[in-house]
Amino acid sequence: MPSAVIRRMRRTRSNKGMRHRVLIALAAFSVLGAGAVFVRSTLAGSESGALLFGLSAEKAELGMTKTPGPDSGEAKATIVIVPVETVEADHVLRLTGTLTADEKAEVASTANGIVEEVYVERGSLVEKGATLVKVDPTDVENGLREARAGIEELKAALGWDENRDAKGYNVENQPGVQMAKAALDLATVNNDRITKLFEQGAVSKAQFDQSNTEYESSKQRYQQALYQARQLYQSYKTACTKLKTLEKMLDDTTIEAPFTGWVTQRYVSKGERVSTNPMGAGANVAAMVKVDPLRLLLMVPQQDIAHVQPGGEVRFQVDSFPGRTFTGEVRYVSPSVENMTRSMSVEALVPNPDHVLRPGFFVTAELVLPEKRKDHFVPESAIIRENDVARVFVVRDGKALAQVVSTGESKEGRVRIVTGLAEGDRVVAEPDKVKDGDAVQ
């Protein structure tokens, strides 16, 4: 076969293969953004076209590299060069932590008696104020009736009812005091009259002495009546205090949940006797944990703690609810570093109104820091990975230079570059077409 025909066949196959690779490479950029650009290049005398999705004309460009050719010894290969995409994003610390109860309580009964009813079991979710245990109130109710009867007797003796007399108790209004005061007033008038008559010689010394004695006796009886009335009033106040104590004891026979939460332990059963110990401590009847809100405990490395402030946002996920993100707010930052870990404890308050989160859940969290960060992204196709090492080709001074980078998360065909690239850098989107140091026009 003539050599000219062979050369034409080789050139045709080469052009077809090149066009195929360009189409694949250009289509890979559809993930980089909205818009499309039609790119046309001339390869060894023929034309090829491709739709470049996801890049504007300003963001994508075609470069040419020199590669050996079958005819003249050199041919130009078309490559796509893209700028590093810089996006402002939240600066976050990725941490792990544990959810704990915001409050725990060993619920105790201060009442003495037989357990009449138990209304909860382990695992029960109860609202604040719900009845957990009921103790037989019979003895206390009997004591209350006796105390109320005694108070009514004292009110009658005092001749006073605080419910009808808004001015308060006046000892002078007590019936015994009033009688003694009336007797004293009469004795005073008689004694004054007899004293004047005695001075005039109208009555004898015996009459004068008798009148004076009656006056002194009346005065002592009045003072005694005042004393007794004050004692009665003190007894009344003591009885009222005892009544309030008994009313509190009656209330204590109903043991209620101190907050909304889960019952983790139940310590008593129906028919069991509960009583306070000699030190006055009550008998535990149940244990509870508060589930709304919860606390999220995190350990933050000391080099990052300066950026963490109360009020900061925490986003986290738990294995039990894949794909669901929960949030919390930092409320406490430890003032000291732990010697073993060189980290500081941070606590966040986590709302849990639907009670799906539980104390003890392990979480993967993102602690959002106040300042923003600039994330750099490149197309996934621009990265070469070899033995856990990631590289890209950066175009600088007309050359494609290999650059080692560390990568972060991937998103929609883009990879975040943690280190190795800067804003304004340009990279080769088809790294398999170039070698380190190749000239790029």
DSSP β-bridge partners for residue 425: none
Domain 94-101+293-371 shares a fold with domain 374-439: no
Distance CA 193, CA 405 (A): 122
pLDDT for the residue 222: 93
pLDDT > 50? residue 3: no
Each domain of the chain, given as residue ranges in start order, spans 3-80, 94-101+293-371, 106-135+254-288, 139-252, 374-439
pLDDT digit string, tens, across residues 61-103 = 655 555 454 454 455 667 889 999 988 877 788 899 999 999 9
Q: Which of 15, 33, 16 is nearest to 82 (CA)?
A: 33
Confidence of residue 429 (pLDDT cuts 50, 70, 90): very high
Average pLDDT over residues 232-239: 92
pLDDT for the residue 75: 53
pLDDT for the residue 91: 77
DSSP β-bridge partners for residue 378: 415
pLDDT digit string, tens, across residues 262-289 = 999 999 999 999 988 767 678 899 999 9
pLDDT for the residue 157: 86
The residues, any chain, with a CB within 8 Å of residue 178's CB and separated by 6 or more, are 172
Find the range with the poorest average confidence among 2-11, 202-211, 399-408: 2-11
pLDDT for the residue 164: 64
Do 378 and 417 touch, CB atoms closer than 8 A? yes
pLDDT for the residue 64: 56
CATH fold, domain 94-101+293-371, is Elongation Factor Tu (Ef-tu); domain 3 (2.40.30)
Encoding tokens for residue 129? Answer: 């104020």
pLDDT > 80? residue 259: yes
Find the range with the poorest average confidence among 45-49, 55-59, 212-216, 242-246: 45-49
pLDDT digit string, tens, across residues 20-46 = 443 444 344 333 333 333 333 333 333
CA angle 376, 380, 381 (to 5 degrees): 125
Percentage of the chain beyond pLDDT 90 is 55
pLDDT digit string, tens, across residues 408-425 = 888 888 999 989 999 999
Q: What is the CATH number of domain 106-135+254-288?
A: 2.40.50.100
Distance CA 146, CA 44 (A): 115
pLDDT for the residue 291: 87
Distance CA 191, CA 213 (A): 9
Average pLDDT over residues 305-326: 91
Average pLDDT over residues 337-347: 88
Confidence of residue 60 (pLDDT cuts 50, 70, 90): low
pLDDT digit string, tens, across residues 181-228 = 999 999 999 999 999 998 998 889 999 999 999 999 999 999 999 999
Encoding tokens for residue 12? Answer: 């045709």
pLDDT for the residue 263: 95
CATH class of 374-439: mainly beta
